[in-house]
Structures are given as C-alpha cells and as structure tokens.
C-alpha cells in the first residue's frame, strides 16, 4: 500500500466516523437541552463538524488536487503498523491489574516484569529475575511505606 | 518595607529552610523525570509531609518540588524521547535528536540553563510587577479567553506534524475527549456510554503517560527489534555519549546565541503563566513556534537545535513562577500547582490574596527569597546529576524499557488510585501509536484536551451573556483581533502548504 492510498483511507475513515458521531453518538449520549444556557451538544457538534470538513478537504485534495511526486512509493517498514508486537505489549499490561486482584501485587508484578523483559528481548534468566524482583520490590516499598498509597 | 524585606530574607536563609528547599528541588527533579509524576502530582503527594514544617519551609519545599519537576520532565524527554510531563514534549523535538548524535549531556545542560534562566526571569517579574500584570489578566473576559484559546490551538496544531489539517483534526479529537464527563451547565453525564468511571471525566495523567511515554516506548522497541541484528542484540544501550568536550559542554558562543531566544521565551512563559488556565504546555509550544519562526535557520529545528530546547524549557519554567502572580495578588491560582499551593497556604494559616501583602508581608518576602534560592539549587542539582542521568541511560535497553513500562503503569494508577486510569492509559497509548504512524500530532491532541474546559466554559459564557447574539464579538476589539490573527495564521499556513505541494 502506498502512503497516499493509506492517507486517503484514513481520511475517509475519519469522515465516516464523524458522520456516525453527528447522526447517532452525539444525539444519543449527550444530555438534552435543559432550556437555559447552551446545549451540551453544541461543542461536540461544532468540533465533529469541523473534523468532517477537514477530513473531506484532505480527501478531496488528495483525490482531485494536483498529483504529487511523493507518497506513491510503498510504505517503509517504520511507517507500517505491527499489530502483533503492539498487542504483545498491551496484553500483559491489560492483565496486570486483574492478576494483582487475584494473586497480589508482588507475585503478579514479578510475572509481569518477566514477561515484558522477554518481549523486550532479554534472554538472561538471572538478570530477568533480578530486575523483576528489585523493581517490583522497590515500587511496593515506595508506594506502601513511602507514599502510603492504597495498594491496588 | 526594607526592614520587612530583610527580615523575610533572613528567615528564608535559615539552614533548616534551605535544607527543605533543596530537598524539594531534588525530589522534584526525580519525580518530574518519572513518567506519570508531574509537578502538581508531586505537590499533592507531598503536602501532608509539610504539616509539621514551618510555613516558610513548607511553601519553599513545595515550590522547589514544582520547579524541580519542570526540569525533571525534560530529562526523559531529551534522553529517551519520553517526556515526563506534557510541557517537556517540545523539548524532546530537539533534545532527542541531539542525544542520538551522542550529545545528550549537552542537550541536558541547555535544558538546565533554559529552565533556570526562564524561572529566574519569571521570579523577578513576580517580585517586581506582580500586581499590574495580574490586573491585565483580569481584563480578559470570556470572549478574549475564547479567542485566545482558538489562537493557541491553531498555532500548536501546526507543530509536530507536516500538515495543519491533520494537526487540527488531532486537536479536534482531543477536544472531543475533553468533553467526556459531567457537562458543566446541565451537570448531566456526557459521552460516558454507561461507564460510571467516566463521569468524573478523563484525567490528564493517563493521556499524558499513554500518548507521550508508553506509545513512544513501543515504537522505539519496534525500531530496536527491526535493527536488532545491526545493533548488537539484547545488550545494546539506549544511547551512546560522546566524550568530546564540544559535544558535552555548551560553549560561551553557543549560549550567547540562545540568549535572545531564552529572553523571548521567558517573556512568553511569564505572560501565559500569569493568565489562569492556559498552562505550561501552551507556553512551551508557543515559545518553540516563535523561536522557529524568528530563527535564521528554521529548517534546523527538530534536528538538534539548541535554541529549540532553550525556547521550550525557559517558557515552561517561567510558568512555574508566573502562575504565582495571580495567586499572590488576587488569590486566583494560575494553574493546578498554584491551586494546590492554596491548600498548603491555608494549612499554615495564610489566605492568598491582596491582603496577604498587608498582613504577612515578611512571609511573602521569605517566599520570594526561597523562589530565588530554589533556582540556585536547581542549577546545582541539575549539574551534579547530569552525569548520573546519562549513566542511567547507559543501562542496556532490555533492562531499562521494562522498568519504564512498569513505572508508566504504576504512574497512571497513582493519579486517582483507580485501575480504570491504567486502562485509559493503555487505550490512549494504542491511539497514539496509530496517530504517530499516520502522522497525526498527538501533541495537538493533548493540547486540545487540556484547553477544552476553559474553551467550553468561555464559549458558554459568551453565548449566555450575549443572549445567543452572534455579533457580540464585534463589540470586543481584543477578541476580534485575536480571531483575525487566528484566521491569518490558518490562511498563511494553508498557502505555504499548497506552495510546498505544488513544488513537490
């Protein structure tokens, strides 16, 4: 996919989402006008309308404007989305707090740190365990005894 | 008055008070460098510690904390492109490229000098001209504030992206996110989608950590994974530091070349900080934009230009002192940190406001002296800690990144002790990942989000007070002028973009 094609898709997607917001999300999820002052939907309608206009302008310029020399080549690797790697980091983070609720801060924290280090490319087991235990222990001591914060 | 001033200064230089100011600055630098902890949070966490201190020590400690945090935010921004605070994001635009060139220590020195200079300038303004400056800020009514925020968003939308359109779209998304929560007029939930945790709105901390720090870590890890065969594998350090003197220190010539920028940015930061609601991120991006426009070599910005670092840091540090101007003179806090300081003042038996100058003049002068001393301590702590900060960054990336990820998660939790904030942080890091890939400015998003409450409130006040009269702006020349400047900037940027595209 070329950069220009992706930009067009993104602009079209934003325009479509804006229409959905204007027609359904904003009327459904904003409180009704109370009869005084300003409607709660004023600012959201204004902003989403502006987003719709800007995305259509961007799409229009790309499709019907003068053809550019840049943006026609294939996307470089650094601009591509790597969903696998993204989720490999997000998933342990999402599961951390439920795990803390089940097993406690220290065991869950240590397992989390071991997993994250593995995904970051660490392969030395002794270093992994040391870093996991020290960082979780330090964080626990700081929050519990230093700042007296209620632990999750 | 001279006697009161001298007495106040003598109180401030008591060894115990000096110790607490020093401790505040040091703690602030450490906390500011940690993703998730900024100046206001550091103050909020440490206010209980000040209950048993004297009033001078307590306020000196808290102000030192705030000052240290402003500089601390730039450390992570410069060295690993993960700003500890939103206002340090502009610092990373030139700081991080310099670090990649092996000049991280030089970039940190410039950030330190900019911070101390901006802070010193604003502190002197606070001491000398606090009252008249606050009076000017009072003349800004809702139409002027609305127009000023429009101008600020337009300027900032053009930064951090190649396209003003995408910057404005990003700012629009930020504003939309800022409307989540309780609607201010009807006091009913808006865009909460039945999730009760959203009724208190979305806090800045999860957005800041997710968009500035966490998403950047993921992208850097992607880059390292891609280059892992060339980089030498798991033990590669994040950065290398040059040992050449010219790459580590700032020469007198280099510092002299940034003096004008520092002065201009300090003025910008002082003025923005004196106006309640705008805050350090707006000052820092505005100053960066102005420094770039006035530079003879604007194309060098974003590639390791010392002036970029100086502009951002001096502006955001100037806000730290100037936000106390409306607090001391009118009792109105200039930002969140100043609002928290009101609590500290009240705990120690002082009510901020104009009467404080009559009833507690000696205390005020002690605070002024503490502010100046905190600047000196910041210079000392910053210089002493430079090598330490750089040493920490020479830890292998596979050790440092997981620690930063864990700190980001716990930092998000610290804001309101609510695991839902961690979920929000991860959600916004997911959004920011895509924004960075598709060249939408996450900075514009954050600024739009920060400015939404003041913008919506001023818009509603304008509509209500004018009784839905759309021509009321015509009766406010300052507001009209600001809106005209906004329209001019949009037109000029659009024309510039069209010219660039026709040449491409």
The token pair at A23 is 């027609």
Q: Are B79 and B390 in contact (CB under 8 A)?
A: yes
- Cβ pair A37:B464 closer than 8 A: yes
**Distance between CA atoms of residues B462 and B467, nearest Å:** 8
A151: in domain: no
User: Mean pLDDT score of chain B, rounded to an integer?
Assistant: 82
- Cβ pair B234:A149 closer than 8 A: no
B431 falls in which pLDDT band (50, 70, 90)?
A: very high
Q: Answer yes or no: do A13 and A61 share one domain.
A: yes
Q: What is the ipTM of this complex?
A: 0.91
**Domains in chain A: how many in total?**
2
In three-state secondary structure terms, B396 is strand
Give the pLDDT score at B502. 61
The token pair at B48 is 């209980």
Q: Answer yes or no: do A140 and A97 share one domain.
A: yes
Nearest to B139 by CA among B251, B333, B275, B287: B275
The tens digit of pLDDT for each residue in B462-496 reads: 888 887 776 777 778 888 888 888 888 778 777 77
Q: Are B21 and B377 in contact (CB under 8 A)?
A: yes
In three-state secondary structure terms, B100 is helix
pLDDT exceeds 90 at position A48: yes
Determine phi and psi for B418, rounding to 5 degrees.
Answer: -130, 120
- Cβ pair A55:B413 closer than 8 A: no
Which residues of B fall within a CB distance of 8 Å from A30? 183, 190-191
Q: Answer yes or no: do A66 and A92 share one domain.
A: no
- Most trustworthy range by pLDDT among A9-18, B157-166, B223-232, B273-282: A9-18
In this structure, the strands spanning B181-182 and B189-190 are antiparallel
Q: Regarding predicted confidence, which is higher, B184 or B48?
A: B184
Which residues of A fall within a CB distance of 8 Å from B433? 81, 86
A114: in domain: yes
DSSP code per residue over B108-120? HHHHHHHHHHHHH
Give the pLDDT score at A109. 93
Give the pLDDT score at B276. 66
Q: Answer yes or no: do A8 and A34 share one domain.
A: yes
Which pTM value belongs to this model? 0.78
Give the pLDDT score at B162. 64
**Distance between CA atoms of residues B208 and B397, nearest Å:** 22
Q: Answer yes or no: do A102 and A139 share one domain.
A: yes
Q: Answer yes or no: do A11 and A67 share one domain.
A: yes
How many A×B Cβ pairs under 8 Å? 156
pLDDT exceeds 70 at position B58: yes
- The stretch B34-41 carries a mean pLDDT of 70
Q: Are B325 and B134 in contact (CB under 8 A)?
A: yes
Of A53, A76, A99, at which residue does a domain stop? A76
Map chain A to HEC letters. Answer: CEHHHHHHHHHHHHHHHHHHHHHHHHHHHCCCCCCCCCCCCHHHHHHHHHHHHHHHHHHHHHHHCCCCCCCCCECCHHHCCCHHHHHHHHHHHHHHHHHHHHHCHHHHHHHHHHHHHHHHCCCCHHHHHHHHHHHHHHHHHHHHHHCCCCCC
The percentage of residues in chain B with a pLDDT greater than 90, rounded to a whole number, is 15
A104: in domain: yes
CA separation (Å) from A84 to A119, B31, B218, B399, B403?
11, 33, 12, 22, 22
The tens digit of pLDDT for each residue in B102-129 reads: 888 899 999 999 999 999 998 888 888 7
Give the pLDDT score at B16. 87
- Cβ pair B399:A122 closer than 8 A: yes
Cα-to-chain-centroid distance, residue B151? 18
The tens digit of pLDDT for each residue in B437-464 reads: 888 888 788 878 878 888 888 888 888 8
Burial class from Cβ neighbours inside 10 Å (0-12, 13-18, 19+) for residue A84 reads exposed
Would you call B6 an interface residue with chain A, using a CB distance cutoff of 8 Å? no
Burial class from Cβ neighbours inside 10 Å (0-12, 13-18, 19+) for residue A131 reads buried
Give the pLDDT score at B315. 92
- Cβ pair B172:A54 closer than 8 A: yes
Give the pLDDT score at A72. 62
Residue of B nearest to A80 (CA): B437
Strands (E), B233-335: none
DSSP code per residue over B145-208? HHHHHHHHHHHHHTSSSS-HHHHHHHHHHHHHHHT-EE-TTT--EES-TT-GGGGG---HHHHH
Please name every residue paired with A30 in a beta bridge, in sequence order, or none if there are none: none
Q: Answer yes or no: do A46 and A63 share one domain.
A: yes
Which residues of A fall within a CB distance of 8 Å from B419? 97, 152
The token pair at B473 is 């702006």
Would you call A9 an interface residue with chain B, using a CB distance cutoff of 8 Å? no
A35 falls in which pLDDT band (50, 70, 90)?
A: confident
pLDDT exceeds 50 at position B168: yes
A105: in domain: yes
> Tokens 């330190």 label which residue?
B112
Q: Answer yes or no: do A7 and A71 share one domain.
A: yes
Nearest neighbour of B405 by CB, restricted to A116, A127, A136: A116
**3-state helix vs strand vs coil in chain B, percent to 5:** 80, 0, 20
Q: Answer yes or no: do A65 and A90 share one domain.
A: no
Please name every residue paired with A2 in a beta bridge, in sequence order, or none if there are none: A74
Nearest neighbour of A135 by CB, restricted to B166, B403, B438: B403
Would you call B456 an interface residue with chain A, using a CB distance cutoff of 8 Å? yes
Which conformational region is residue B183 in: left (phi greater than 0), alpha (psi within -120 to 50 degrees), or beta? beta
Determine phi and psi for A74, rounding to 5 degrees.
Answer: -60, 150
**Distance between CA atoms of residues A80 and B447, nearest Å:** 26
Nearest neighbour of A34 by CB, restricted to B186, B433, B452: B186
Give the up-direction half-sphere exposure of residue B104: CA atoms within 13 A in the CB hemisphere.
26
A141: in domain: yes
The tens digit of pLDDT for each residue in B240-293 reads: 677 778 788 888 888 888 999 999 999 988 888 877 666 788 888 889 988 988
Which residues of B fall within a CB distance of 8 Å from A43? 175, 179, 452, 455-456, 459
Q: Answer yes or no: do A21 and A51 share one domain.
A: yes
Q: Are B315 and B268 in contact (CB under 8 A)?
A: yes
The percentage of residues in chain B with a pLDDT greater than 70, rounded to a whole number, is 87
Q: Are B39 and B66 in contact (CB under 8 A)?
A: yes
Q: Answer yes or no: do A17 and A58 share one domain.
A: yes
A152: in domain: no
Measured between its terminal Cα atoms, the distance across chain A in Å is 44
pLDDT exceeds 50 at position B234: no
Give the pLDDT score at B194. 87
Residue of B nearest to A76 (CA): B437
Q: Which domain holds residue A90?
A: 83-146
Would you call A85 an interface residue with chain B, using a CB distance cutoff of 8 Å? yes
Of A18, A49, A76, at which residue does a domain stop? A76
Q: How many Å is the maximal CA-CA distance in chain B?
A: 69
- The stretch B54-79 carries a mean pLDDT of 86
Of A60, A76, A92, at which residue does a domain stop? A76
Would you call A113 an interface residue with chain B, using a CB distance cutoff of 8 Å? yes
Q: Regarding predicted confidence, which is higher, B48 or B411?
A: B411
Nearest to B82 by CA among B134, B34, B136: B34
Q: Answer yes or no: do A118 and A92 share one domain.
A: yes
> Tokens 């235990």 label which residue?
A133
Give the pLDDT score at B503. 60
- Cβ pair A31:B186 closer than 8 A: yes
**Which A residues in the span 40-79 are in contact with B, Cβ-Cβ below 8 Å?**
40, 42-44, 47-48, 50-51, 54-55, 57-58, 65-66, 68-70, 77-79
């Amino acid at each position: 996919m070329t950069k220009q094609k992706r930009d067009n898709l993104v602009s079209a997607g934003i325009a479509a989402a804006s229409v959905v917001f204007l027609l359904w999300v904003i009327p459904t999820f904003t409180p009704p006008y109370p009869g005084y002052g300003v409607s709660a939907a004023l600012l959201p309608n204004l902003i989403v309308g502006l987003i719709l206009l800007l995305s259509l302008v961007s799409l229009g310029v790309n499709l019907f404007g003068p053809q550019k020399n840049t943006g026609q080549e294939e996307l470089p690797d650094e601009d591509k989305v790597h969903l696998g790697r993204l989720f490999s980091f997000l998933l342990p983070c999402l599961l951390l707090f439920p795990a803390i609720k089940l097993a406690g801060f220290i065991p869950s924290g240590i397992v989390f740190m071991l997993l994250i280090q593995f995904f970051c490319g660490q392969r030395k087991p002794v270093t992994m365990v040391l870093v996991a235990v020290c960082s979780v222990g330090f964080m626990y001591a700081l929050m519990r005894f230093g700042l007296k914060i209620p632990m999750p | 008055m001279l006697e009161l001033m001298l007495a106040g200064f003598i109180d401030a230089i008591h060894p115990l008070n000096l110790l607490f100011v020093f401790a505040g600055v040091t703690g602030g630098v450490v906390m500011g460098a940690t993703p998730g902890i900024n100046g206001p949070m550091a103050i909020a966490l440490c206010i209980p510690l000040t209950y048993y201190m004297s009033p001078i020590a307590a306020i000196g400690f808290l102000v030192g904390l705030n000052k240290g945090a402003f500089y601390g935010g730039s450390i992570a921004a410069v060295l690993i492109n993960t700003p500890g605070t939103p206002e340090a994001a502009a610092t990373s635009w030139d700081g991080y490229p310099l670090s990649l060139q092996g000049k991280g220590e030089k970039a940190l020195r410039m950030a330190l000098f900019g911070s101390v200079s901006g802070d010193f300038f604003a502190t002197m303004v606070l001491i000398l001209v606090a009252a008249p400056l606050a009076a000017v800020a009072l003349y800004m009514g809702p139409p002027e504030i609305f127009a000023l925020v429009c101008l600020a968003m337009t300027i900032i939308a053009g930064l951090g992206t190649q396209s003003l359109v995408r910057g404005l779209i990003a700012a629009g998304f930020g504003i939309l996110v800022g409307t989540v929560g309780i609607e201010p007029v009807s006091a009913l939930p808006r865009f909460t989608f039945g999730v009760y945790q959203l009724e208190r709105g979305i806090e800045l901390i999860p957005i800041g950590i997710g968009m500035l720090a966490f998403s950047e870590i993921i992208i850097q890890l992607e880059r390292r994974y891609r280059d892992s065969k060339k980089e030498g594998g798991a033990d590669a350090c994040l950065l290398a530091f040059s040992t050449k003197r010219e790459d580590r220190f700032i020469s007198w010539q280099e510092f002299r070349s940034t003096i004008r920028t520092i002065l201009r940015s300090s003025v910008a930061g002082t003025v923005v900080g004196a106006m309640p609601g705008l805050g350090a991120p707006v000052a820092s991006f505005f100053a960066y934009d102005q420094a770039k426009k006035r530079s003879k070599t604007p194309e060098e910005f974003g590639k390791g230009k010392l002036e970029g670092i100086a502009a951002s840091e001096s502006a955001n540090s100037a806000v730290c002192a100037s936000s106390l101007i409306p607090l001391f003179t009118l009792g109105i806090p200039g930002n969140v940190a100043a609002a928290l300081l009101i609590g500290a003042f009240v705990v120690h038996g002082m009510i901020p406001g104009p009467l404080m100058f009559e009833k507690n003049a000696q205390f005020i002068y002690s605070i002024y002296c503490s502010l100046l001393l905190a600047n000196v301590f910041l210079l000392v702590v910053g210089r002493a800690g430079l090598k330490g900060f750089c040493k920490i960054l020479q830890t292998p990336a596979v050790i440092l990144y997981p620690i930063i990820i864990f700190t980001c998660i716990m930092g998000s939790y610290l804001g309101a002790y609510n695991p839902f904030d961690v979920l929000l942080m991860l959600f916004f890091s997911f959004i920011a990942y895509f924004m960075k890939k598709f060249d939408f400015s996450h900075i514009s998003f954050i600024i739009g989000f920060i400015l939404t409450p003041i913008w919506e409130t001023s818009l509603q006040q304008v509509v209500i007070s004018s009784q839905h009269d759309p021509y009321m702006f015509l009766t406010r020349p300052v507001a009209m002028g600001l809106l005209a400047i906004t329209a001019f900037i949009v037109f000029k940027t659009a024309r510039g973009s069209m010219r660039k595209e026709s040449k491409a």
